[in-house]
Amino acid sequence: MPTLSQALQSAASGSPAKAKTSLAEPRKQTRPKWWRDEGMVAAFDTEPLIPRLRASGFDMSYEFMTYDQKLVLWRRGHSEEIVLKLKDLGFNFILTPFYKGGGIKAEQNTIQAAKSFTELCHKHGMHVGYYLFSGTVFYESLLAEEPDAINWLTRDQNGHYPIYHPFYFRRWVNRSHPGFRAHMRELVRFAVQDAKVDLIHFDNYDGGAPGYEPYSATQFRQYIESRYTPEQRFHRFGFANVNFMEPPPPPPTPDAYNGDPLYQDFIDFRCETLADTYRELAELARSLNPDVILECNPGGYVGELNMGVDGLNAVDHTLLAPWGGVFTDEGEPCRLENGIMISRFRSQMLGRHFDNMVWHYTPDRVAISESMANNLQCSGLSAFFGDGEVIPWLSKHDPKKYDPAVLASIRFFRREQRYYQDTEQAADVGVLNTYANTAYGPTRTRQSWQAFTQALYQGKVPFTLVPDRCPGDLNRFRVLVLADLALISDELVNAIRSFVRDGGGLVMTGMATQFDEHSYRREKAGLADLFSETLGDKPLTSTFEKGRAAYLPHVVVPAKFVLGTLPENRRELLDAVRWAANGPLQVEVKAPETVTMSLYVQPGGRRMLHLVNYDEGNPVSNIEITMQQPSEGRQVSVKLLSPESDTPQTLPKQQRGRELRFTVPRLEVYGLLVIE
């Protein structure tokens, strides 16, 4: 039976829903009832006492203070006064410091304070998460408690201990070392069983992967031996004996080692090992309380693996996200800067694929608007509350005082939760990505992917992201996009071919399907057979049985590409997507490129269209919107809600057949349109 979004797509195209193409579905964790009922408005403090004593907090503000002065400030962040202040502002979730890696005995004051603070928060109906820094340790105090922890520390290729720059007393560990795993299990068990916490946050999951110390090197050799038979090792490396293999160094230049099989295996080993440490802790926590939420901070998802502290890739979001309910995209707040849109939409889309919310900093109006529009019932991390003060962390306006418009957005989000619950993204277009291309595909192909997704987002096309590890049913889309997706398996190529044969649309660019997932070049592009002409330097279109396929030779990006840059040929790319759809998209929004939209549907058929204006200094007037109804003759109303007003505005509309037209008179920054 087709989903609601598939039914809407079918209505838009005028064709019946296609049969399901069987591919792996994403693994998703059960969310606790409170999250579904309330959503999450989060404030955070991540600094326990030990880093404050070393003056190593975020802004070094604890330098040149006495112990007593530091203690007074720290206690303010654990007071009933701060809990009530946050609750009054509309927050319902508090992330508080629990452990920073200084040793369980050394940090016992912080651990017990977190437990008492949790009881205080629960008393006032607030939910609590624990900040657990699981990548580095304060080695001086930790080694005094556990001398064997010296073996947990990772080393770089020169034998040096990597540090959490610039704090020389914080050294990185190998998360997979058995001793460190046991250490983390003890902390998780206490947090869930004894302290009754609602969420555990594991910070800096972009570090702590296997490195070059003896334990990591031994584990890597064992990984190679178990992964390949002697004959396979001979064919892969030219010899079968792995006893003298060492982990390869970081590449001297981008792409230098992409084709090196040992480099590929080391990246795979690091990603899989890092994810396995998260899986173990998640399974332990949920065995103690099925409702506890797990969260990690691997950094944001931008279509490529995130790099570790040692200069090598280590983070595969598609391996981490299935074990948690949240991941953090830490960086600058979303905004428009010098014409470039700084956004977290890729993380938010991938998060929704796994039923994960995404934490990112939302101290300003645009940032919190994007989170309300794209995130899974989460307004982001809107406030830092250390020292008893509530401040908009990293605000680009006043870093010490909240913009009243942000507080109005928080109240709006809490008040209108019924429109954020149980939503399914309504996407006509799926943009595929593969682990292999994110890990060791050519850099320029990932830039093409980033630019194409930026064009779709700012072009207001209803789309989402589709990872190859668990793409799900491809037939929930009308169009698939392969944006220079060079490395892709035969299995997925065949599934895409079947999708087009059965009536789907395809847009592929440049190097798409030229290699398999092992970086072996195909004689010709894997989907070249969809076209009657040879793929080359000119655009092509083709009808292939019931479907359509378009090929464009380039996604044109500048030589100095930065994330958020729009491709120069974006109009050509968007026209190809609309042609491949073979009919109107579910929604068309006529507005400047600084306005974006997100479309969702709820089980009862209600649809929500979110609009965000990133150019907050320039409100947009008379935004014309055309939507396709699931059936003819169904009369609906259109309401416009926004944080600027407590009263919904009913908009005039025109209906003709399945087509619904209306105009948004004015958009300040955020608008929520409800169609039912």
Reported as a single tens digit per residue, the pLDDT across 12-43 is 445 545 555 579 999 998 899 999 999 999 99
The CB density around residue 209, as the number of other CB atoms within 10 Å, is: 30
Q: Is pLDDT of 343 > 70?
A: yes
Q: Which domain holds residue 598?
A: 587-675
CB 392 within 8 A of CB 363: yes
Residue 391 has a pLDDT of: 92
Q: Check whether residue 563 and residue 644 sit in a common domain.
A: no
Q: Are residues 550 and 600 in the same domain?
A: no
Q: Is the pLDDT of residue 201 over 60?
A: yes
> Do residue 100 and residue 200 come from a single domain?
yes
Kindly report the CATH number assigned to the domain that includes residue 604: 2.60.40.1180
Question: How many distinct structural domains can be found in the chain?
Answer: 3
Chain centre distance of CA 115? 30
Q: What is the CATH number of the domain that holds 525?
A: 3.40.50.880
Looking at the fold, whether 573 and 668 belong to one and the same domain comes out as no
Query: 638 has which bridge partners?
Result: 675
64 band by pLDDT with thresholds 50, 70 and 90: confident
527: which 2 tokens? Answer: 């989907």
Residues 550 and 668 in one domain: no
Q: Are residues 429 and 522 in the same domain?
A: yes
Asked if residue 347 lies in contact with residue 315, where contact means CB atoms within 8 angstroms, the answer is no
Average pLDDT (345-371) is 98
For tokens 């949920």, the residue is: 286
> Which residue did the predictor score with more confidence, 19 or 160?
160
CA proximity to 480, closest of 532, 536, 544: 544
For residue 394, the tally of other CB atoms under 10 A from its CB is 17
Per-residue pLDDT band at 1 (split at 50, 70, 90):
very low
Lowest mean pLDDT across 23-27, 53-57, 319-323, 455-459: 53-57
Q: Is residue 144 part of a domain?
A: yes
Lookup: tokens for 201: 């946050």
What pLDDT, on the 0 to 100 scale, is given for residue 60?
A: 57
543 lies in the same domain as 631: no
* C-alpha span between 37 and 420 (Å, rounded): 10
* Sign of CA pseudo-dihedral 226, 231, 237, 243: positive
Q: What mean pLDDT is predicted for residues 142-171?
A: 95
601 and 494 within one domain: no
Q: Which residues contact 110 (CB under 8 A, 6 or more apart)?
A: 48, 49, 50, 97, 98, 99, 100
Percentage with pLDDT > 70 across the chain: 96
Helix (H) / strand (E) element for 186: namely: helix 178-189
* Phi, psi angle pair for 662, to nearest 5°: -160, 170
**% of the chain residues with pLDDT over 90:** 88
Q: Are residues 16 and 139 in the same domain?
A: no
CA distance 664 to 661: 10
pLDDT of residue 103: 97
404-419: burial string, b at 16+ Cβ within 10 Å, e else: ebbbbbbebbbebeeb
Picking from 301, 328, 355, the residue at the C-terminal end of a domain is: 328
95 pLDDT band, cuts 50/70/90, is very high
Give the contacts of 232 (CB within 8 A, at least 6 positions apart).
Answer: none
Give the tens place of pLDDT for each residue, 630-669. 888 788 999 999 999 999 999 999 999 999 999 999 999 9
502 located within any domain = yes
Quickly count helices (H) and strands (E) in the chain.
19, 31
Per-residue pLDDT of 496-544, as tens digits, reads 999 999 999 999 999 999 999 999 999 999 999 999 999 999 999 999 9
| 339 located within any domain | no
Q: Are 486 and 512 in contact (CB under 8 A)?
A: yes
Report the CATH number at residue 250.
Answer: 3.20.20.80
Q: Are residues 486 and 607 in the same domain?
A: no
Which domain-ending residue is among 283, 304, 328?
328
Cα→Cα distances 333→72, 136, 337, 447, 624, Å? 30, 25, 11, 22, 29
Write down the pLDDT at residue 307. Answer: 86
- Determine which helix (DSSP H) or strand (DSSP E) holds 571, and give its type and residue range: helix 570-581
pLDDT at 2: 45
**Predicted confidence (pLDDT) per residue in 591-635, tens digit:** 999 999 999 999 999 999 999 999 999 999 999 999 999 888 788
pLDDT (0 to 100) of residue 9:
53
How many C-beta atoms surround the C-beta of residue 309 within 10 A? 21
Average pLDDT, the chain: 94
In a domain, 400, yes or no: no
Distance, CA of 39 to CA of 493 (rounded, Å): 38
Beta-bridge partner residues of 381: 42, 361
Residue spans of beta strands (DSSP E) within 70-204: 93-99, 127-133, 136-138, 163-164, 167-172, 199-203
Q: Which residue has the tokens 């992201």?
A: 465
| Whether residues 479 and 512 fall in one domain | yes
Is 410 a member of any domain?
A: no
pLDDT band at 351 (very low <50, low <70, confident <90, very high): very high
Read off the pLDDT band of 11 (50, 70, 90): very low
Distances (CA, A) of 634 to 8, 301, 435: 13, 39, 43
Name the 3-class secondary structure at 188.
helix
Average pLDDT over residues 96-121: 97
Say if residue 109 is in the same domain as residue 47.
yes
pLDDT band, residue 137 (cuts 50/70/90): very high
Does residue 13 lie within any of the structural domains? yes
End residue of a domain, out of 302, 328, 354: 328
Say if 596 falls within a structural domain.
Answer: yes
pLDDT of residue 605: 95
409: in domain: no
| pLDDT value, residue 308 | 83
Query: Which distant-in-sequence residues (6+ apart) come within 8 Å of 415 by Cβ?
Result: none
Give per-residue pLDDT as tens, 229-277: 999 999 999 999 999 999 999 999 999 999 999 999 999 999 999 999 9
What's the pLDDT tens digit per position in 394-443? 998 888 888 999 999 999 999 999 999 999 999 999 999 999 999 999 99
Residues 208-230: tens digit of each pLDDT: 999 999 999 999 999 999 999 99
**pTM: predicted TM-score of the whole model, two decimal places:** 0.95
CA distance 311 to 275: 18
